[in-house]
């Protein structure tokens, strides 16, 4: 590597609800410094911010989007997950967030976003990280969460619900 070559910059965004506001401020600072983003990885609220950033949304627009966000726009508890049968769709009903992504993302596939983007997911029952990137890359955005099962170190099977 020569001194003229710049190391790639990856933006890694965490989960944690209100931490998403901090991520927007950090993104704004990176833009002000003129640092190019070569890759974005996110989980939970970080995945939402990451999708918007990878889609090219400016920091001020992202801040305005979250300032206008209300409880009714967000996730709701999915009682079927708590009370339902063995195969559950997820802990939260995400339809309002899916609608937000449909309205605001410029691309309908990960590979069409301005910056390469990946999501980190976790199996709520086992607590293990799951490999879902193949699912996310092969299905249009916004997507329904896949059902992940039969995970071993050598094999992960993802199925669309």
66 within a domain of the structure (yes/no): yes
Distance CA 15, CA 45 (A): 5
Residue 71 has pLDDT above 80, yes or no: no
94 within a domain of the structure (yes/no): no
Q: What is the pTM of this model?
A: 0.66
Lowest mean pLDDT among 26-30, 45-49, 65-69, 146-150: 146-150
Higher per-residue pLDDT: 37 or 44: 37
**DSSP string for residues in 28-81:** HHHHHHTPPP-EEEE-THHHHHHHHHHTT--HHHHHHHHHT--GGGS-EE-HHH
| Cα separations in angstroms, 66 against 17, 79, 129 | 11, 26, 27
Q: What is the pLDDT of residue 134?
A: 45
**DSSP string for residues in 133-153:** HHHHHHSPSS-PPPEEEEEET
Q: What is the pLDDT of residue 49?
A: 93
Q: What is the pLDDT of residue 74?
A: 57
The domain tally of the chain equals: 1
For residue 120, give its domain range: 10-71+108-159
Higher per-residue pLDDT: 6 or 149: 6
CB of 113 within 8 A of CB of 47? no
Mean pLDDT of the region 60-69:
87
101 within a domain of the structure (yes/no): no
136 within a domain of the structure (yes/no): yes
Q: What is the pLDDT of residue 154?
A: 32
């Amino acid at each position: 590597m020569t001194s003229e070559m710049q190391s790639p910059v990856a933006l890694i965004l965490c989960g944690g609800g209100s931490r998403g506001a901090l991520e927007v401020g950090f993104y704004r600072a990176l833009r002000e410094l003129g640092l190019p983003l070569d890759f974005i990885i996110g989980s939970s609220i970080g995945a939402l911010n990451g999708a918007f950033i990878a889609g090219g949304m400016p920091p001020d627009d992202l801040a305005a989007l979250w300032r206008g966000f209300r409880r009714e726009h967000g996730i709701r508890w999915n009682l079927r997950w708590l009370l339902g049968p063995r195969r559950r769709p997820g802990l939260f009903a995400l339809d309002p967030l899916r609608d937000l992504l449909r309205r605001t993302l410029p691309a309908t596939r990960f590979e069409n976003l301005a910056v390469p983007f990946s999501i980190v997911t976790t199996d709520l029952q086992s607590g293990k990280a799951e490999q879902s990137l193949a699912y996310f890359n092969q299905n249009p955005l916004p997507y329904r969460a896949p059902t992940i099962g039969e995970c071993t170190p050598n094999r992960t099977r993802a199925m669309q619900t």
